Amino acid sequence: MSPRHRAPVESRVYVPAAGEASDVELMPAGDVTDGVVRVGGTIRRPHQPQSLAVAAYLDWLEDAGFDGSPRFLGRDAEGRDVLTFLPGRCAGPVPAAWVQSEELLASVAELLRRLHAASAGFVPDGHPFPPRPVRQDPAELVCHLDVTPQNVVVRGGLAAGVVDFDLAGPTTAFKDSFNTAMHWVPLRDPADAWPGWGAADPFRRLRIFADAYGWDEGERRRLPAFGTEATALSYERMRHNAHALGGGWARMWDDGVGRMIRRRGLWIEANAGRLVAALTG
């Protein structure tokens, strides 16, 4: 949709074209948002407090020429957010063996770099993002902040798009790239490895990510300290959300996500030297 033809995000209404497919397909469930479905060439998601801020960000990305994010088409007759469906496949809750591809890992980093370049200059004004729990990140750049294997659309073995902008908001590009590496390398205690991922080498994979994204020397050297601090904050935010919001957040907490995050922080700290050596050697 060209900007000329777009209504403001708050009044944008999705009107299906005559004869448009209306078959409903349930999408794989994430941890928090219930009821994400595909209807023809669209995704329908429950409207949420951050929806309009996200919609304005998606408009910005469209205007910046970024082709790897869904378009916000408006709200349907049931009040749900309507987004374009990006063809391809996403990892399931436990990423299968194909997700380990190193070419895919590098392409995720490259896609993220392009997303960050396209995000530059976006200032959420009319529709601010909700504040983050516990404390705010430095507001350098609006980023995605949840680029997990489940939220990346893969085509021809390479990352083609990113979906689920629920956690987007102002932060720093380094934080978003650390977060993405954490999910995709992944950076976690070997005791928490996904089934079938025991042989994946996190040091080699982190280096692939760093080179493909383009972390500079300073970023490579401060990664362990940054990661330890980010992990501690993530623990606090998860705990806060579990108590304040309940639902899927509380379920994750009860399933032990807090302990898993703690083990990740300890693993990063214990392996600080090896991580820097892998990134700079």
The Cα 213–Cα 113 span in angstroms is 6
Which x/- pattern over 151-180 shows residues binding ligand ATP (rule: CB under 6 A)? x-x---------xx-x--------------
Residue 242: Cβ within 10 Å count = 19
The Cα 28–Cα 163 span in angstroms is 13
* Distance of closest approach, residue 148 Cβ to Mg ion, in angstroms: 7
Query: Choosing among Mg ion, ligand ATP, none, which partner's interface includes residue 52 (Cβ < 5 to 8 Å by kind)?
Result: none
Tell whether residue 150 is a contact of ligand ATP (CB under 6 A). yes
**Residue 59, both tokens:** 């408009």
Query: Choosing among ligand ATP, Mg ion, none, which partner's interface includes residue 172 (Cβ < 5 to 8 Å by kind)?
Result: none
Choice from 1, 6, 14, 30 touching Mg ion (CB under 5 A): 30
Which x/- pattern over 43-62 shows residues binding ligand ATP (rule: CB under 6 A)? x-x-----------------
Tell whether residue 86 is a contact of ligand ATP (CB under 6 A). yes
* Distance of closest approach, residue 27 Cβ to Mg ion, in angstroms: 9
The Cα 151–Cα 91 span in angstroms is 8
Q: Which residues, 6+ apart, have CB-to-CB distance to 17 below 8 Å? A: none
Residue whose CB is less far from ligand ATP, 45 or 207: 45
The DSSP secondary structure of 14-72, one letter per residue, reads: --PPTT----EEEPPP-SS----EEETTEEEE---TTHHHHHHHHHHHHHTT--SS--E
Tokens 């997303």 identify what position?
A: 115
The Cα 54–Cα 260 span in angstroms is 29
Tell whether residue 28 is a contact of ligand ATP (CB under 6 A). yes
Q: Interface with ligand ATP by CB under 6 A: which residues?
A: 27-33, 36, 43, 45, 70, 83, 85-86, 90, 150-151, 153, 163-164, 166
Q: Interface with Mg ion by CB under 5 A: which residues?
A: 30, 150-151, 164
